[in-house]
């Protein structure tokens, strides 16, 4: 036999010599949930090890992550039901929980990278990512609200704005809104290919943000479609996105690879709440080895072509020196 591929696997030294992909702390983005109040830290029941923090505890959490070399955070707010309305006005009110949290993190940790989520659902009394009229999700009316939200985030110090709503034209609208206000340096990480997925369940528990009626299929993508992701990616690129995201992660590795092969922009993968919950549940049952399964999953995103990985495993992986 001329070719014996096993020769390159015969020792740890040689295996490492030919290793093609790595995950490092600099690739990881840690999503963090925020709640109103003081000294709050409540666990999300469907996401063991993941908590909702009040701003004071959020700062301590960010600090401990940064000591581990984890410097990028994506913030998500749990909003009191009484503050929600049809137009998500709480999303751009100057003293809202979310804007206070962004300011607090950037003030105390100016060198951190704060990514903010632009979408109406945590603030919407309908639990949808757009304005609802007669059961329909309105696109262009929603853009105006997204623009206000993005601008409020930029003013509060956000480094990267991440629109996660899947309305048409939102990247261009947000880019123009930011540029017109002088925020030309604020980046946009677009959720380009975001699928109508069952794997967001635990996240909606964390934020209490599930849709009050219907589903998100008129705006999020059909899980059966790959080529449609290219249409979304091309539009986002043309409209000025700096990163393209694929979400969820594991069931869509083919889409990550497809976008990687069709754009020069960096790709982000969102290893979503349900993917996290799946592994945690299996680990708690003694069915999977946590270190090996988590590092294998993270490596798969890098192999598929993702530069950045949004993952709830980020802190634990670094605390335990699993990379
Ligand atoms: C909403 C949003 C969702 C997630 C991030 N932003 C949920 C949804 O679209 O319903 C999901 C993240 C996760 O499941 O970890 N704009």
CA of 214 from ligand 1 middle (Å) equals 16
Per-residue pLDDT at 67 = 98
Per-residue pLDDT at 88 = 98
Q: Best substitution site from 30, 49, 203, 271 to test ligand 1's pocket, by max atoms within 8 Å of Cβ?
A: 203
Per-residue pLDDT at 202 = 97
Q: Residue 162 — pLDDT band, cuts 50, 70, 90?
A: very high
- Average pLDDT estimate for 76-83: 97
Ligand 1 atom closest to Cα of residue 203: 14
- Six-digit token string for 222: 């059909």
Would you list the DSSP string of 103-162? HHHHHH-TTSEEEEEE-SGGGBTT-SSSEEETTEEEHHHHHHHHHHHHHHHHHHT-SEEE
Which positions ≥6 away from 126 have C-beta within 8 Å? 86, 132, 211, 212, 213
- Report whether 189 contacts 241 (CB < 8 A): yes
Kindly report, residue by residue over 207-239, the tens digit of the pLDDT. 999 999 999 999 999 999 999 999 999 999 999
Which positions ≥6 away from 110 have C-beta within 8 Å? none
Per-residue pLDDT at 138 = 97
Ligand 1 atom closest to Cα of residue 276: 15
Per-residue pLDDT at 292 = 98
The CA angle 53-58-61, to the nearest 5 degrees, is 110
Ligand 1 atom closest to Cα of residue 119: 16
Q: What's the Cα-to-Cα distance from 167 to each of 18, 112, 146, 180, 315, rounded to whole Å?
A: 43, 29, 10, 21, 32
Distance CA 152, CA 92 (A): 6
**Span between the terminal Cα atoms of the chain, in Å:** 35
Q: Which of 3, 82, 64, 78 is nearest to 35 (CA)?
A: 78
- Average pLDDT estimate for 144-156: 98
CA of 3 from ligand 1 middle (Å) equals 47
H/E run at residue 33? strand 28-34
- Average pLDDT estimate for 96-102: 98
Q: Which of 296, 244, 246 is nearest to 21 (CA)?
A: 296
Q: Residue 133 — pLDDT band, cuts 50, 70, 90?
A: very high
The CA angle 66-69-70, to the nearest 5 degrees, is 65
The burial class, CB within 10 Å (0-12 / 13-18 / 19+), for 166 is: buried
Q: For residue 80, how far is the Cα from the chain centroid?
A: 22
Kindly report, residue by residue over 172-194, the tens digit of the pLDDT. 999 999 999 999 999 999 999 99
User: What is the 3-state composition of the chain as percent helix, strand, coil, each rounded to the nearest 5?
Assistant: 45, 20, 35
Kindly report, residue by residue over 103-118, the tens digit of the pLDDT. 999 999 999 999 999 9
Distance CA 121, CA 127 (A): 5
Say which of 84, 216, 247, 315 is annotated catalytic: 247
Is 247 one of the annotated active-site residues of the chain? yes
Q: What is the mean pLDDT of the chain?
A: 98
Distance CA 237, CA 235 (A): 5
């Amino acid at each position: 036999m001329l070719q014996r591929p096993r020769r390159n696997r015969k020792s740890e030294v040689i295996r490492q010599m030919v290793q093609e992909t790595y995950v490092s702390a600099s690739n990881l983005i840690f999503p963090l949930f925020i709640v109103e109040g003081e000294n709050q830290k409540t666990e999300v029941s469907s996401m063991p090890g993941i908590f909702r923090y009040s701003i004071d505890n959020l700062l301590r959490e960010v600090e401990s992550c940064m000591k581990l070399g984890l410097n990028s955070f994506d913030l998500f707010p749990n909003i009191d039901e009484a503050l929600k309305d049809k137009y998500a006005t709480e999303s751009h009110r100057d003293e809202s929980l979310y804007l206070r949290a962004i300011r607090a993190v950037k003030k105390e940790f100016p060198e951190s990278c704060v990514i903010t989520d632009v979408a109406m659902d945590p603030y919407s009394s309908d639990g949808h990512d757009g304005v609802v009229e007669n059961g329909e999700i309105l696109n262009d009316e929603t853009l105006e609200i997204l623009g206000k939200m993005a601008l409020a985030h930029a003013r509060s110090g956000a480094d990267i704005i991440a629109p996660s709503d899947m309305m048409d034209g939102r990247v261009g609208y947000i880019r123009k809104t930011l540029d017109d206000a002088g925020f030309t340096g604020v980046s946009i990480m677009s959720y380009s290919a975001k699928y109508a997925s069952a794997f967001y369940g635990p996240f909606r528990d964390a934020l209490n943000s599930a849709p009050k009626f219907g589903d998100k299929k008129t705006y999020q993508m059909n899980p059966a479609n790959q080529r449609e992701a290219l249409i979304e990616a091309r539009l986002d690129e043309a409209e000025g996105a700096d990163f393209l995201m694929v979400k969820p992660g594991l069931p869509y590795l083919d889409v990550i690879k497809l976008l990687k092969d069709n754009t020069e922009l960096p790709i982000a993968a969102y290893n979503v709440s349900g993917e996290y919950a799946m592994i945690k549940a299996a680990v708690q049952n003694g069915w999977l080895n946590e270190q090996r399964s988590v590092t294998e999953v993270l490596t798969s995103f890098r192999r598929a072509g993702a530069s950045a990985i949004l993952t709830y495993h980020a802190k634990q992986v670094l605390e335990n020196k699993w990379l």
